[in-house]
Amino acid sequence: MGEGTIVVKELDSGFKYRVTEEPGGEHLMRCYACGTCTASCPVRSIDESFNPRKIIRMAILGMKDEVLKSDFVWLCSTCYICQERCPQDVVITELMNALKNIAVKEGIIHPGYVAQATEIGKFGRLYEIDDFANKKREKMGLPQLKSEGKDIQTIYKSTGVDNYIAKPEEEE
C-alpha cells in the first residue's frame, strides 16, 4: 500500500471533507484506528495487502491519489462484517462505496463495474432475458420477462452517470 515518506503539503487536505460529504462517508473522521475492521475482513485474510484500516487512515490524511488509484477500494466484498463490528460506527462498507463513488467522479472506475452498469442500462438487469432465455423459463413453467432498459437509461441521463461509465467504454 505505498511506501516512502508522506509529505503532507503534497496531499489533498480537503479530501476528508469531500469524503464526509459523500453518502456513506459521513463518519470517516470517527475512526480511531482500532483495526477491528482489518481483523474481521475476509478479503484481508486472503490478501494481506488489503487493509481497510489503512485505507481509512490514508483517506483521513488526504492521500487521495493512493486511495483512489489503487485497486483496494474495489476489492471490498461488501460483506458488512467490519461495519457490524466497528465500535465507532464508521460504516466502513458504505464508506468504501463513498470512495468508489468519488473515484468514478475522478474518472477512475473498475472495468467490471463499467460492464455491469452498462448491462443494466441496456436491459434493466445484469443479464439479458432474451427470447432464448424466456423459452427456457417457459419450459419450466415460469412467467415471461421483458427487458426494462429504457427506465434505467432515463435515470442514468438524469443523474449524469452515463458520462462516467461511457468513457472507459470508448477507450476500449
Partner 1 sequence: MSRIGVFVCHCGLNIAGTVDVEKAARLISNYPGVIYATDYVYMCSDPGQDMIKEVVKEKKLDGIVVAACSPTMHEVTFRNTVASVGLNPYRCEIANIREQCSWVHQNNKEIATEKAVQIIEATVEKLKLDKSLVPLSIPITKKALVIGGGIAGIQASLDIADSGYEVVLVEKNQSIGGHMLQLSETFPTLDCPQCIATPKMVQVGQHPKIKLLAYSEVEEVFGYVGNFKVKIRRKASFVDWDKCTGCGLCIEKCPVKVLSEFDEFLAKRKAIYTLFPQAVPNKPVIDSNNCLYFTKGKCRACEKNCSVEAINFEQKDSFIEEDVGAIIVATGYDLMDKAEIGEYGYGKYEDVIDGLQAERVLAPAGPTNGIPYRPSDGKIPKEVVFIQCVGSRDPEHYYPYCSKVCCMYTVKQAMLYKHAVPDGQAYVFYMDIRCNGKGYEEFLQRGIEEDRILYIRGRVSKIFKDGDKIEVWGADTLTGRKIEISADMVVLAMAMIPSQGVKKLAEKLRLATDEYGFLTEAHPKLRPVESLTAGCFLAGAAQAPKDIPEAVAQASGAASKVLSLFSQDVFYHEPIIGSVDEEVCVGCGNCVSICAYDAVELDLATKVAKVNPALCEGCGACSAACPSGAMQQNNFSKRQIFEMVDAFAKGS
Partner 2 sequence: MEYALFLGCTVPARARNYELSTRRVAEALGIRLVDLDGSVCCGFPIKSVHYESFLLTAARNLILAEEKGLDICALCSACTSVLTEVNKELGENEELRKKVLRKLGIRKKFRFSNSIRVKHFARILYEDVGIDKIKSKIQKDLEPLKISAHYGCHYLKPSDIYDNFDNAEHPKSLDELIETTGAVPVDYENKNLCCGAGTLAMDENISFSMANKKLRSIKDAGADAISLICPFCSVMYDNNQPTIESKFSEEYNLPVLYYPQLLGLALGMNKKELGFNMNRVKVAPLLEKLKQ
Applying CB under 8 A, the residues found at the interface with partner 2 are 22-24, 42-43, 45-47, 71, 74-81, 83-84, 91, 93, 97-98, 100-101, 104, 109-110, 112-113, 115-117, 120, 124-129, 133, 136-137, 140-143, 145-146, 148, 151-152, 155-156, 158-159, 161, 164-165
Report residue 83 CA to chain centroid gap.
15
Binding to partner 1 in span 65-94, by CB under 8 A: 88
**Residue 2 interaction partner, one of partner 2, partner 1, none, beta carbon < 5-8 Å per kind:** partner 1
Cβ distance 40 to 88 under 8 Å?
Answer: no
For residue 17, the partner it binds in partner 1, partner 2, none, with Cβ less than 5 to 8 A by kind, is partner 1
Binding partner at 151 among partner 1, partner 2, none, C-beta below 5 to 8 Å by kind: partner 2
Among 58, 98, 102, 109, binds partner 1 (CB under 8 A): 58
Sign, CA torsion 49/50/56/62: positive
Q: How far apart are CA 136 and CA 76, in angstroms?
A: 34
CA dihedral for 133, 138, 142, 143, sign (positive or negative)? positive
- Nearer residue to partner 2 within complex by CB, 10 or 47: 47
Q: Provide the 10 A C-beta neighbour count for residue 83.
A: 19
Is 64 exposed, middle or buried (CB count within 10 Å of its CB: 0-12, 13-18, 19+)? buried
Q: Pick between residue 28 and residue 76 the one whose CB is nearest to partner 1.
A: 28
Q: Which of 68, 108, 73 is nearest to 93 (CA)?
A: 73
DSSP code of 62? Answer: T
Binding of partner 1 at residue 99 (CB under 8 A)?
A: no
* Interacting residues toward partner 1 by CB under 8 A: 1-9, 13, 16-17, 27, 29-30, 32-33, 53-54, 57-58, 60-61, 88
